[in-house]
């Protein structure tokens, strides 16, 4: 897959089938669209291309709204796009200057750098200033510029269209199993394993503390059965992860942490990059007044996680 951070970096003469969007989470709906893109490209002996944005339009145009609810960060999206076997990915920043471009001017820029022959879009797609470029507008423009517009079939799960917004609501409620059904993969957080205060080690449950972007939406505070994958390794390690404020150890803490206890594991992995997949919600985060109560509960969490993960391992 060829990766570009701006349209101006490309000058392709080969015919291209394109889709445009944010693609946060790369959920099942996105995957259906990408598969349709690949089928169309194969039929027309063309290349597949995605033009994605980060930050997304909402973050730029509505700065008063929360910006800490991304399902995936750019590096994660790039890796996931690559797994789909796409030919070209352009991930460019959405800016106020871009927002003020008319749909016509934007599509003329696209056509200038990409030999666009088909544009694929979802049912509610629109681009350009004031979202003037809906499918009908773009189809009419395409007759002048030499491309056709196609609507991707929507993806439904349990009678509801799959959307990033719905997935965000599920994660905020700790419903990681339901979110997995809509994503087509486990919700995950990537980051560096950093040194914490190492209290877990003193009670027999050392944890890997994972640094994460403040733009990320984390699942609700609580304890989860998880799978940890180290960068450069294929193995996924079963683990128990706490997200929250560590109320048993810190009073008045406002900084959320991700602490994963990897089962039956003793290697030193500080400084490594990893991806943590959330498989199942076990319980809410709790405050324990006595250390013995905490240790007893962690042991129960470990056993419950083993049961959850024993049939999930790949």
pLDDT (tens digit per residue) in 133-184: 999 999 999 999 999 999 998 899 999 899 999 999 999 999 999 999 999 9
pLDDT given for residue 64 in this prediction: 85
User: Strands 88-92 and 2-4, how do they pair?
Assistant: parallel
The predicted pLDDT at position 66 comes to 76
CATH of 2-160, one of 3.40.50.620, 3.40.50.970, 3.10.200.10, 3.40.50.300: 3.40.50.620
Region(s) of the chain under CATH 3.40.50.620: 2-160
Mean pLDDT (whole number) for 101-123: 96
High-pLDDT (> 70) share of the chain, %? 94
Over 90: is that where the pLDDT of 302 sits? yes
The whole-chain average pLDDT of the chain stands at 92
Tell me: pLDDT of 242 over 90.
Answer: yes
pLDDT of 110 higher than 60: yes
Q: What is the pTM of this model?
A: 0.91
**Percent of the chain at pLDDT exceeding 90:** 78
How do residues 88-101 score in pLDDT, each as one tens digit?
999 999 999 999 99
Domain(s) of CATH 2.40.30.30: residues in the chain: 186-309
User: Class of 186-309 per CATH?
Assistant: mainly beta
pLDDT at 208 over 70: yes
């Amino acid at each position: 897959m060829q990766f570009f951070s701006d349209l101006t970096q490309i000058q392709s003469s080969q015919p291209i089938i394109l889709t445009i969007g944010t693609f946060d989470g790369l959920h099942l709906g996105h995957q259906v669209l990408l598969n349709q893109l690949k089928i169309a490209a194969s039929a027309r002996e063309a290349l597949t291309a995605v033009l994605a944005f980060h930050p997304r339009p909402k973050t730029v145009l509505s700065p008063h709204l929360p910006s800490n609810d991304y399902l995936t960060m750019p590096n994660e999206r790039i890796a996931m796009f690559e797994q789909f076997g796409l030919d070209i990915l352009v991930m460019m920043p959405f800016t106020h200057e871009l927002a003020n471009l008319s749909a016509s001017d934007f599509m003329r820029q696209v056509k200038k750098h990409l030999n666009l022959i088909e544009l694929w879009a979802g049912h509610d797609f629109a681009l350009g200033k004031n979202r003037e470029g809906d499918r009908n507008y773009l189809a009419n423009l395409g007759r002048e510029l030499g491309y056709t517009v196609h609507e991707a079939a929507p993806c439904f799960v349990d009678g509801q269209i799959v959307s990033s917004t719905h997935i965000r609501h599920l994660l905020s409620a700790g419903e990681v199993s339901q979110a997995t059904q809509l994503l087509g993969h486990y919700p995950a957080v990537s980051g560096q394993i950093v040194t914490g205060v190492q209290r877990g080690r003193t009670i027999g449950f050392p944890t890997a503390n994972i640094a994460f972007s403040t733009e990320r939406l984390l699942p609700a505070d609580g304890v989860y059965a998880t799978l940890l994958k180290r960068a450069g390794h294929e193995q996924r390690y079963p683990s128990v992860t706490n997200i929250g404020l560590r109320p048993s150890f810190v009073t008045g803490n406002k900084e959320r942490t991700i602490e994963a206890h990897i089962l039956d594991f003793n290697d030193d992995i500080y400084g490594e990059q990893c991806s943590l997949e959330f498989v199942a919600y076990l319980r809410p985060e709790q405050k324990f007044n006595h250390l013995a109560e905490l240790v007893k509960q962690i042991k129960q969490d470990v056993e419950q996680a083993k049961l959850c993960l024993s049939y999930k391992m790949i």
